[in-house]
Amino acid sequence: MLAKTPPMGWNSWNTFGEAINEQVVRDTADAIVEKGLKDAGYEYVVIDDCWSLRQRGADDRIVPDPVKFPSGMKALADYVHSKGLKFGMYSCAGTRTCAGYPGSFDYEFIDAKTFAEWGVDFLKYDFCYKPRLANGPILYNRMGMALKASGREILFSACNWGSDEVEKWIRSIGAHMYRSTGDINDSFNSFKDIAMSQVEKLAYSGPCCFNDIDMLICGMHGKGNVANGGCTDTEYRTHFALWCLFQSPLMIGGDLSKIDDYNLDLLKNKELISINQDPEARPPMRLGHGDRPIFFKHLANNEYVLAFFNFGDRDSWGDVEFYDLGLTVASGYGFRFRDIFTGEETGVVTGHLSTGIKSHDCRIFRGTLVEK
Ligand code: GLA
Q: Please, what are the domains in the chain?
A: 8-276 (3.20.20.70), 285-371 (2.60.40.1180)
Atom of ligand 1 nearest to the CA of 159: 8
Decide: 178 in ligand 1 pocket, CB within 6 A.
no
Q: Which residues of 14-46 are buried (b: 16+ CB within 10 A; e: fewer)?
A: bbbeeebbbebbbebbebbeebebbebbbbbbb
Compute φ and ψ for 51, nearest 5 degrees. Answer: -100, -10
Q: Which of 54, 104, 159, 177 to mutate to test the pocket of ligand 1 (most atoms within 8 A of CB)?
A: 159
Closest CA to ligand 1's atom 1: 98
Contact call for residues 287 and 324 (beta carbons, < 8 A): yes
pLDDT tens string 91-114: 999 999 999 999 999 999 999 999
Closest CA to 158 of 80, 205, 222, 211: 211
pLDDT tens string 220-275: 999 999 999 999 999 999 999 999 999 999 999 999 999 999 999 999 999 999 99
How many angstroms is it from 226 CA to the middle of ligand 1? 10
How many angstroms is it from 183 CA to the middle of ligand 1? 7
- pLDDT at 261 (0 to 100): 98
Q: Which of 123, 183, 213 to mutate to test the pocket of ligand 1 (most atoms within 8 A of CB)?
A: 183
Q: What residues are annotated to the active site? A: 126, 183
Mean pLDDT over residues 58-64, rounded?
A: 98
